[in-house]
Amino acid sequence: MAEQRDVRWTDAGLSPGPVSGSGTYPGIPQGPKQQAPLHDQAGLLLGHVWTDGQAAAGFSPDRAAGPAGVRASGQVWGIMRDAYVAGRPAAGVLDPSLFRPDFELRVD
């Protein structure tokens, strides 16, 4: 009877395998970014929502916002995830209606 080796201890066990996606837009832009400032209801700048207009989008918290910017990051991630799952293109994340009523996205 031939000895069966565990695949974890062979070269096959070290090769890349499929990984599930993040469920949201890629975070690395493929070109120039367009961005818009995101404020809370009191007017505090929390950070910037950005997109490359192609496939990538994200949120960059403003350091001066402190913990409020960090908390906003989690909420914005959820908003972006929902937009991604709904099929909204990355260029569409600069729509202020996505962030209401909790936030105000100021698009020029």
**pLDDT at 11 (0 to 100):** 60
Distance (Å, whole) CA 73 – CA 84: 16
**pLDDT at 108 (0 to 100):** 86
Question: Phi and psi for 48 in degrees, rounded to 5?
Answer: -130, 130
In 3-89, DSSP assigns E strands to: 34-40, 45-51, 57-61
Distance (Å, whole) CA 50 – CA 28: 11
DSSP secondary structure letter of residue 96: G
Q: pTM, whole model, 2 decimals?
A: 0.79
Cα 32 to Cα 4, 75, 83, 90: the distances in Å are 53, 25, 21, 13
**pLDDT at 18 (0 to 100):** 47
Mean pLDDT by 10 residues, the chain (108 residues): 60 52 87 97 97 95 95 95 95 97 96
